[in-house]
Amino acid sequence: MFHATMDPLSIVLPRKRRLCAFLLFSAVWSLALSVTRYSIPEEIEVGSVVANLATDLGLDIRSLGERNVKLDNIHNKKYLDINKETGDLFILEKIDREYLCPTKTVSSCFLKMDVIIENPVRIFNVELEILDINDNAPQFRRETMHLDISESATPGERFSITNAVDMDVGKNSIETYYLSQSEHFTIDLQSGSDGTKYVDLVLKTELDREQQAVHSLILTAVDDGDSPRSGTASIVVQVLDTNDNAPQFDRQVYSVDLIENASSGTLVMKLNATDMDEGSNAELTYSYTLYTSEKTQEKFSLDPNSGEIRVKGVIDFEEIKSFEMYIEAKDKGQQPLSGQCKVLMFITDLNDNHPEITVKSLKRSIEEDAAIGTVIAVVSVRDRDSGDNGKVDLTLHDRFSLPFVLNKSSEEYFSLLVSEPLDREKVSNYDITFKVKDRGTPSLSDNETIRLEILDVNDNAPQFPQSFYTIHVMENNEPGTLLSSLSAHDPDLNENQYLVYFIMEKMIANTSMSMLFSINPENGNLYALKTFDYEREREYLFHIEARDSGVPPQSSNMTVHIIIQDQNDNAPLIVSPWSAKGSVIEQVIPRSFEKGAMITKVIALDADSVQNSRITYQFLMVTDNTLFSLNQYNGEVRTTRMFSYRDPRYQRLVITARDNGDPPLSATVTIKITTVEQVVTEFSETTEIPLHYDLFTDLNLYLVIGLGSVSFLLLITILVIIVLKCQKPKPTKPPSNRNSIISQRNSTIADSTLISSDAYWYSLFLAETRKGKVVVRQPLPNGAGYFVSSIPRSIAMTTTSESRTSTLQESSSDLP
């Protein structure tokens, strides 16, 4: 706690009211003249107690709160406050003396405040002296100071530098300066009237820029506090140059060789004089002295800035064999200094005459079929030099890639001949370069280029990109449809490359190819002249020829394979049970049919390709869905249960056969089924005829004997055909027609079959008869083939002999 003394005055209010105002004013004025002073160091911690104002001012601690004691600061910031419970004056915020009193000329720094209490009102003046501590280090205004000092400066010369600044006062401020070790510099300290220390840089010894151009020094400022602080700054001294060094050449005499006939501007040599100075004192200019002859100055130029000596005139060894030059280098200082050297130049003789080439009897063009040994040109060479310099060699540039050769006919004459076959399509012209070179050292050379054009002959036939083209064409195309562009290429020129296309004639089914296809003779576009039908003709094979217009013409051909692609343009044809278009098929069956018994079998055929002819069957309408089932793949209609008395006598089935095309096509058949009790239904306009099961009669015996005979004959015929096939080459398979396709694809379909072979029919008849079935063959509509039906045992019912006889007669009349 910091202590201080004070002389307080008390104010006693008189009882008389008229004297209250005067006495109160007098008391306040007396208190304002009393000052209590305290001293504290700066930067003490917040909360530190400065003094007990209640004790120092003679106040009752218990009444401080009641009398509303408060502290009125003169400054903006509130650094201190009063504890109303203890009367202590304590630090509220750290105090920085340098902030409160920035002026160093004032030695003391005070913080003034008023203590005000009420009831009665009393005012106490309090002054707090802030004592300085060494909390600031010396600082230079610039961390680096640059000085330019001439190397001609004399020892003892002084140079002002920037001083350091310390915010502290008294002994805490700057006390002295120190300079880093230096051979050439020292410092001198001086004090101002206010005690501020000033420092000057003093030169001790002479400077030499050529030895050391820059001096780096460290200046340190130190205060005199209890814990001394310091600050540093760098001093960079740049030594300025003076012209105290003359230019010098690295040699006094230079010797150089120069070849005669050196071109103008040729660099002979570059002089390099040096000056230890810098700036303009080191900038040099070169010049001839008066000892250099005018003839020499006419032949050579000297660059005044770079010192380059270059050829200016014609240098001829036969005229002058050597030159002498006297050259001076001078700097650009205020008092220029100079240096001299001597250059001896010796001229070397050389081969200075070029060989010459003359082309005579030249052919500018030649046909590509020219014979080997054909003369194209005659060339002569010569060189005006003598000895080895006059001997020349003539060659062809890049001769290994040229189909030509040089033949020496005399000492100075050469012939250019064809050495390999020419091909204009590979190279249409040649740039032939003759290169001549003498045997001097160094050798001289010359060249001459001629252009030879190769003329075209018709030696190339047209070429198709492919020898075999396969073209897919969808059937039902429009006549005139573009099928493909079959263009060939001929590498010849002009009329030799103009091509004409045509179809090579060929007969197919008594029809010429030119009736089916057409080709544009100019561009090779192939067109279809008719609408193709996949079911009639599936492919065409023919040749197309391309012929040029040369003399004689060249031609080539290629093979075209036209493949007709199928469209789904044929609807299925229902062949079993068959009926006229739109008519209803009536069928009678017994009501005693078991579950799973086959009622009928719908067979449909499609003349399209395999994918489009894949047929599926489905009910379009059925009287009772629970009574019948339809196999969607083979068309069999079977019972799903036995007939009951509730089932109606008549059943109507509408069955559709749909192919697998896109879009699909279909055909329908309507079957009216009549159920009866133990009665065989007569087939009405159908291909299935019910017969008695036990029919192995004399007729069947005759048929078996006939079938055996036919089978034997068929076997003998097959053996003969095999022998003939082995002796003759296999003929080309003729294109199949629509009927044959149908018969091949549908040779057997479950129990009902479309066939065209009588032998096969007899075999089927015998086999089915042994199984207890009767087989009947009946022609299909439009003569497309025969439909064969077999009747299962389960539906062969007993009937009258009249009915059996009529059935046999119908069957016998149908046999071949």
Q: In this structure, are residues 560 and 501 in contact, taking their beta carbons and an 8 Å threshold?
A: no
Task: Name the pLDDT band for 24 (thresholds 50, 70, 90).
Answer: very low
Say which range, 436-445, 721-730, 758-767, has the weakest mean pLDDT.
Answer: 758-767
Q: Is 332 helix (H, G, I), strand (E, B) or coil?
A: coil
Q: What is the C-alpha to C-alpha distance for residues 688 and 775, in angstroms, rounded to an integer?
A: 9
Q: What is the C-alpha to C-alpha distance for residues 372 and 404, in angstroms, rounded to an integer?
A: 9
pLDDT at residue 469 in the model:
94
Would you say residue 125 has pLDDT above 60?
yes
Q: Which residue has the higher pLDDT, 327 or 383?
A: 327
In the block, tokens 């063959």 appear at: 777
Would you say residue 771 has pLDDT above 60?
no
* CATH fold label, 36-131: Immunoglobulin-like (2.60.40)
The full set of domain ranges for the chain reads: 36-131, 139-240, 248-348, 356-455, 468-565, 573-676
For residue 336, is the peptide bond before it cis, meaning its omega torsion is within 30 degrees of 0? no
- What integer best gives the mean pLDDT of the chain? 78
Say which range, 17-21, 199-203, 413-417, has the weakest mean pLDDT.
Answer: 17-21
Would you say residue 560 has pLDDT above 90?
yes
H-helix or E-strand containing 801?
helix 801-814
Number of CB atoms found within 10 A of residue 801's CB:
8
Q: What is the C-alpha to C-alpha distance for residues 219 and 216, in angstroms, rounded to an integer?
A: 10
Domain 139-240 has CATH 2.60.40.60: yes
Q: In this structure, are residues 775 and 758 in contact, taking their beta carbons and an 8 Å threshold?
A: no
Task: Name the pLDDT band for 34 (thresholds 50, 70, 90).
Answer: low
Provide mean pLDDT across the span 351-361. 85
Provide mean pLDDT across the span 548-575. 89
Q: What is the C-alpha to C-alpha distance for residues 781 and 579, in angstroms, rounded to an integer?
A: 10
Number of CB atoms found within 10 A of residue 307's CB:
18
Please list, residue by residue across 660-696, b when 16 or more beta carbons sit within 10 angstroms of its beta carbon and e when fewer do: bbeeebbbbbbbebebeeeebbebeebbbbbbbbebe
Task: Name the pLDDT band for 739 (thresholds 50, 70, 90).
Answer: very low
In the block, tokens 């562009």 appear at: 485
pLDDT at residue 247 in the model:
92
H-helix or E-strand containing 745?
helix 738-745
pLDDT at residue 105 in the model:
62
Provide mean pLDDT across the span 20-40. 55
Would you say residue 668 has pLDDT above 70?
yes
Which CATH code for domain 573-676? 2.60.40.60
Q: What is the C-alpha to C-alpha distance for residues 656 and 669, in angstroms, rounded to an integer?
A: 6
From 432, 450, 355, select the one nearest 396 (Cα to Cα). 432
Task: Name the pLDDT band for 308 (thresholds 50, 70, 90).
Answer: very high
pLDDT at residue 709 in the model:
82
Would you say residue 561 has pLDDT above 90?
yes
Provide mean pLDDT across the span 371-375. 92
Q: In this structure, are residues 330 and 287 in contact, taking their beta carbons and an 8 Å threshold?
A: yes
From 629, 631, 628, select the one nearest 615 (Cα to Cα). 631
Helix 758-770 with 698-727: angle, nearest 10 deg:
140
Cβ neighbours for 233, distance < 8 A, ≥ 6 positions apart = 140, 142, 143, 144, 145, 162, 164, 218, 219
Number of CB atoms found within 10 A of residue 180's CB:
13
Q: Which residues pair with 159 in a beta bridge?
A: 201
Give the global pTM: 0.40
Cβ neighbours for 97, distance < 8 A, ≥ 6 positions apart = 42, 109, 130, 131, 132, 133
For domain 248-348, the CATH superfamily is Cadherins (2.60.40.60)
Provide mean pLDDT across the span 790-797. 37
Q: What are phi and psi of 631, to 5 degrees?
A: -75, 120
pLDDT at residue 482 in the model:
93
* CATH fold label, 356-455: Immunoglobulin-like (2.60.40)
Q: Which residue has the higher pLDDT, 386 or 789?
A: 386
Please list, residue by residue across 370-387, b when 16 or more beta carbons sit within 10 angstroms of its beta carbon and e when fewer do: beeeeebbebbbebebee
Q: What is the C-alpha to C-alpha distance for residues 599 and 757, in angstroms, rounded to an integer?
A: 28
What Cα–Cα distance (Å) separates residue 213 from each residue in 151, 178, 203, 216, 720? 9, 23, 15, 10, 125
Helix intervals (H) in 403-526: 513-516
pLDDT at residue 555 in the model:
93
% pLDDT > 90, the chain: 25
Provide mean pLDDT across the span 54-74. 80
H-helix or E-strand containing 712?
helix 698-727
Q: In this structure, are residues 555 and 649 in contact, taking their beta carbons and an 8 Å threshold?
A: no
Q: What is the C-alpha to C-alpha distance for residues 789 and 778, in angstroms, rounded to an integer?
A: 9
Say which range, 121-135, 651-665, 739-753, has the weakest mean pLDDT.
Answer: 739-753
Please list, residue by residue across 398-413, b when 16 or more beta carbons sit within 10 angstroms of its beta carbon and e when fewer do: eeeebbbbbeeeeeee
Provide mean pLDDT across the span 143-171. 85
Most confident of 293-297, 505-509, 570-574: 293-297
Q: What is the C-alpha to C-alpha distance for residues 341 and 717, in angstroms, rounded to an integer?
A: 127
**pLDDT tens digits, residue range 258-290?**
988 889 999 999 999 998 888 888 889 999 999
Both tokens of 550, joined, read 């040369």
From 40, 65, 210, 224, select the one nearest 130 (Cα to Cα). 40
Q: Do domains 248-348 and 356-455 have the same CATH topology?
A: yes
* Cα dihedral 753, 754, 756, 760 in deg (nearest 10): 0
CATH architecture of 468-565: Sandwich (2.60)
What Cα–Cα distance (Å) separates residue 755 from each residue in 215, 614, 693, 737, 738? 124, 19, 24, 16, 14
H-helix or E-strand containing 344?
strand 338-348
Q: What is the CA radius of gyration of the chain?
A: 67
% pLDDT > 70, the chain: 80
Provide mean pLDDT across the span 729-749. 37
Largest CA distance in the chain: 178
* Cα dihedral 302, 306, 308, 314 in deg (nearest 10): -50
Both tokens of 19, joined, read 């004297």
pLDDT at residue 795 in the model:
35
Q: Which residue has the higher pLDDT, 641 or 197?
A: 641
pLDDT at residue 473 in the model:
93
Q: Which residue has the higher pLDDT, 600 or 99?
A: 600
Q: Edge to edge, what strands does the sheet with 308-311 contain?
A: 267-270, 308-311, 300-302
Would you say residue 330 has pLDDT above 70?
yes
Task: Name the pLDDT band for 32 (thresholds 50, 70, 90).
Answer: very low
Helix (DSSP H) and strand (DSSP E) numbers for the chain: 9, 54
In the block, tokens 């279809």 appear at: 528
**pLDDT tens digits, residue range 614-647?**
899 999 888 888 888 999 899 899 999 888 888 8
Q: In this structure, are residues 526 and 561 in contact, taking their beta carbons and an 8 Å threshold?
A: no
* Cα dihedral 693, 697, 699, 702 in deg (nearest 10): 120
Both tokens of 435, joined, read 């290169």
pLDDT at residue 702 in the model:
67
Q: Which residue has the higher pLDDT, 573 or 682?
A: 573
Q: In this structure, are residues 705 and 750 in contact, taking their beta carbons and an 8 Å threshold?
A: no
